[in-house]
Chains A and B, each alone.
Chain A
Amino acid sequence: MLLYNHIENALQSVRSNKLRSLLTALGITIGIASITAILSLGAGARAIVADQVDSLGGTLAIVRPGVQASSLSQNISQLSSPQYAASTLTKDDLSTISKTEHVSAVAPLMVLQGAVHGDLSAPPVGTHIVATTPQLQEINQIKIFDGQFLDEDLIETTAVVGYQLAIDLFGTEQVIGKSIKVRGETFTIIGILERINTPINFNTVDFDKSVFIGFESGILQNQGTAHIQQINFQVDSVANLDSAVIEVNKALLKNHLNQPDFTVATGASIAQPNSQLFTIITGVSVAIAAISLLVGGVGIMNIMLVSVAERTREIGIRKAMGATNGNISMQFITESLLLSIVGGILGYVLGYLLAFGVSLLLTFDPVFSWEILATALCVSVITGTLFGAFPAIKAARKDPITALRLYN
């Protein structure tokens, strides 16, 4: 009841100083807007890989060499360790997995570095040579723009290219039947993939900029050794995924002489290395954005102090009429809360406008979630309380006699 009155009072005070209140709230708006934008885009980035895995129907599992980092700090140290170290996965592992019960398709990803030449004289940089089997199409649900994917019968001399790579190599996407030189070997292009535009994905390579050759051709190009970065496999139904993963784990452990130097991942843990990285980036960005919130909070404190000084006499009158110190401080806290909450709500809206604007330049969209809304609201409430507390206490401690004598 008294609170309702404080709110009414605060509204009136804010209304009587419209411009001042707006500018004060703006400080909070900017702080909350940047935090909202960063959090929503960060969540969007984290969701990319998880969404890709989900869209493949939940029957996908992958095997990667090495042990997956379980904590953030391990993940950071993995980032700095050499990526070209020899893989622990072998051709034997591949055949072991394909023989496991319920596994319906297996495809290795052997990623090679090297020059790729087409018609244009300058070879594009950053091209991945992916040596794999035709089953990759089924597992990853790869869509073909023109022609076909790798075929068992023609696998030794043919290649499939990503959409962007075709344009980079030949200046056109009409490349079927053209010759492509991969590390000096000539292949005939039999297919071109649809543009997928997912540079960040669980395969760790951008398919738009990749050339796909047969697994055996890849081994030949790599001095006869298989260097498998990842094995994707699919099980026949979602219900059998867990049991198949356990079976694969057991079988591989046997192959590896009981050394757990590989990881079988499903669902969200496939996305883990990426999402942990984005968590770090988001966290650091939010910390920087919080500085602007601090500035906004100081702005609120400043204006509240001015407001208290302006209304010293009113404080004296109210105290003489029976207001306790608590009543007076509540009145001013309510006012600073009003400023910060209004600022926070505006900031939340502005933050999403900003995030959607930025996402036009990115390959992912901002995510709406109640966590972000709650964060924005909580942070503005805390800011309002924290920075309104000192002026409010100052107001409450004013001596009524002095306050009433002022400007007499």
Chain B
Amino acid sequence: MSDKKPPVIELVDLKKRFGIGDASHDALDGVTLTVERGEFIAIMGPSGCGKTTLLNVLGLLDSDVDGDYILNGTNTTLLSRRKQAHIRSKQIGFVFQSFNLIPRLTVLENVAMPLLYKGDLKTKRLKKASAILKTFHLHEREYYMPHQLSGGQVQRVAIARALVNEPSIILADEPTGNLDSNASHIIMEELSELHKKGNTIIMVTHNPNLTTYASRVITMLDGKIDTDTFRLPSSQSKHEKIPLGDMEEIQ
């Protein structure tokens, strides 16, 4: 491979339309965007401007779009749903506003779940999940049920879950939307920490204060990119992604 790696994400004139005929409405109206490795992007904008739709498309949850979405050099719009699921499993980590842990599974089982669809054996799954929880200082909460944790803790578990399969990109949809400001800052510190370790993060937020953590801020309006601002020298994001724990040991 050449030293100049291809961008993680390339969007070319991406369009997403809801409804039919007169009632149709373009949620995304020609978005062209390139995301380099190691960027921390905050997407802002008023309600209904297409932020969440964009994130769903980036996460391959919504593939019924016009235009091209090239992820790590692969054009995903032509792939089957099954292939897209495999890409989600290996390359994408989700963090949701409402946390979305499975309530009847323990913290450890929740974190280990993405590895199931990657095909890891049970012992390996749990070991990896345990190792990653340790980096979030949650290893004492492994056997708690999600409802026994505070909101901030639950979101940290969710971030751990998004990271456990070592994804290329982390997609966060208002990760602090359901948290108080104290917990919000803890979560943002965690994300910022991941960013410094070389992870690519794309985050949707309503809170302008939180954009200070990001390296690039994109504002959207009516399905189009309105402004695109780089806040930090991009040199910082050029180095390789550093694994979080001693993952080699486990494997």
Contacts and interface: CB of A to CB of B under 8 A. Distances in A.
A31 to B, nearest CB: 30
B90 interface: yes
Top 6 nearest A-B pairs (CB, nearest first) are A322-B89, A322-B117, A324-B85, A321-B114, A322-B88, A400-B61
Contacts of B212: none
Given A327-B117, A404-B100, A408-B98, A319 B90 contact: no
Contact of A4 (B82, B113, B122): B122
B119 A326 contact: no
Contacts of B113: 318, 321
B61 A1 contact: no
B65 interface: no
Given A324-B81, A324-B85, A319 B61 contact: yes
A325 B113 CA distance: 16
B82 to A, nearest CB: 5
Interface string B51-64: 00000100101100
Interface in B53-110: 56, 59, 61-62, 81-82, 85-86, 88-90, 92, 94, 96-98, 100-102, 104
Nearest to B171: A320
Given A321-B113, A325-B81, 17 more contacts: A1-B121, A5-B116, A13-B104, A316-B100, A320-B59, A320-B100, A321-B89, A321-B94, A322-B165, A323-B89, A324-B81, A324-B86, A324-B117, A325-B82, A325-B85, A401-B62, A404-B100
A211 B98 CA distance: 89
A16 B103 CA distance: 12
Given A4-B122, A12-B104, A404-B100, A320 B82 contact: no
B81 A323 contact: no
**Tier of interface size on chain A:** 20 to 34
Interface of B: 56, 59, 61-62, 81-82, 85-86, 88-90, 92, 94, 96-98, 100-102, 104, 113-114, 116-119, 121-122, 161, 165
A322 B82 contact: no
A399 B82 CA distance: 14
A313 interface: yes
A2 B122 CA distance: 9
A323 B85 contact: yes
